[in-house]
């Protein structure tokens, strides 16, 4: 089972990815918990370039994200799935769709062609942590520091949020929306209850 956790910056993805992985392990599942970009051997180089590098062309950014994902799938995600493990991933294809296509204004068909050409699989379930942009920015301000993408202006992040909403509407059977304004414990229970309803036996 391949599960991705998606949402705008500050929505609590990393926290809920950790909680879901821990919950599944308590249920006796073998779990690989991972994230993008850069969670594979030597992937930290690409991560640093993507999040803090001086990239001038949006196509450079999108191709680097896809290149990172190719190796991430090949070295981490697919081997775990082949061994029957559950995979919980913080960010994946839908983040690239929302940030690079909606946020940067790149044509969707370019990204979809790259995903198809590289043989990058879609997840079985995408948990979308839906949080108002203003609330997300308050959370981010409280934790201090931001990378190149987190530091974009309000309009950019509002556009990205609209992108996630559109993706959820298009892919209703794969997406599960969670109100990220709730407390961490409540969000965890909501996610696990939906997962249990769908497939945990």
10-15-17-20 Cα dihedral, nearest 10 degrees: -140
Question: pTM of the predicted model, to two decimals?
Answer: 0.93
Total domains, the chain:
1
The yes-or-no verdict on residue 201 having pLDDT over 60 is no
Least confident of 117-126, 130-139, 175-184: 130-139
The single-letter DSSP state of residue 199 is T
pLDDT band at 200 (very low <50, low <70, confident <90, very high): low
pLDDT band at 163 (very low <50, low <70, confident <90, very high): very high
| Tens-place pLDDT, residues 3-58 | 999 999 999 999 999 999 999 999 999 999 999 999 999 999 999 888 887 888 88
Beta bridge partners of 175: 126
With beta carbons less than 8 A apart as the criterion, state whether 36 and 89 touch.
yes
Edge-to-edge order in the sheet of strand 86-90? 31-35, 86-90, 2-6, 125-130, 175-179
With beta carbons less than 8 A apart as the criterion, state whether 122 and 1 touch.
no
Say which residue, 120 or 149, is predicted with more confidence: 120
Mean pLDDT, rounded, of the chain: 94
CATH number for position 180 = 3.40.50.300
Residue range 96-110: mean pLDDT, rounded = 96
CA-to-CA distance for 88 and 182, rounded, in angstroms? Answer: 21
Q: What is the DSSP string of 145-185?
A: ---TTTTS-HHHHHHHHHHHHHHHHHTTTTEEEEETTS-HH
The yes-or-no verdict on residue 144 having pLDDT over 80 is no
Boundaries of domain holding 95: 2-198
């Amino acid at each position: 089972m391949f599960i991705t956790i998606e949402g705008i910056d500050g929505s609590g993805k990393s926290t809920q990815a950790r909680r879901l992985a821990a919950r599944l392990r308590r249920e006796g599942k073998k779990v690989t918990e991972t994230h993008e970009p850069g969670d594979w051997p030597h992937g930290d180089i690409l991560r640093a370039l993507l999040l803090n590098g001086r990239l001038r062309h949006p196509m450079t950014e999108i191709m680097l994200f896809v290149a990172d994902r190719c190796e991430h799938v090949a070295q981490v995600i697919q081997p775990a799935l082949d061994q029957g493990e559950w995979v919980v991933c913080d960010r994946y294809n839908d983040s690239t769709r929302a940030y690079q296509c909606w946020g940067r204004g790149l044509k969707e068909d370019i990204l979809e062609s790259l995903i198809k050409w590289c043989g990058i699989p879609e997840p079985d379930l995408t948990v979308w942590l839906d949080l108002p942009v203003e609330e997300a920015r308050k959370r981010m301000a409280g934790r201090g520091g931001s990378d190149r993408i987190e530091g974009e202006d309000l309009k950019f992040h509002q556009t990205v949020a609209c992108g996630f909403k559109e993706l959820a509407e298009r892919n209703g059977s794969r997406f599960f929306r969670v109100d990220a304004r709730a407390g961490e414990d409540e969000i965890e229970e909501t996610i696990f209850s939906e997962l249990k309803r769908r497939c945990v036996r």
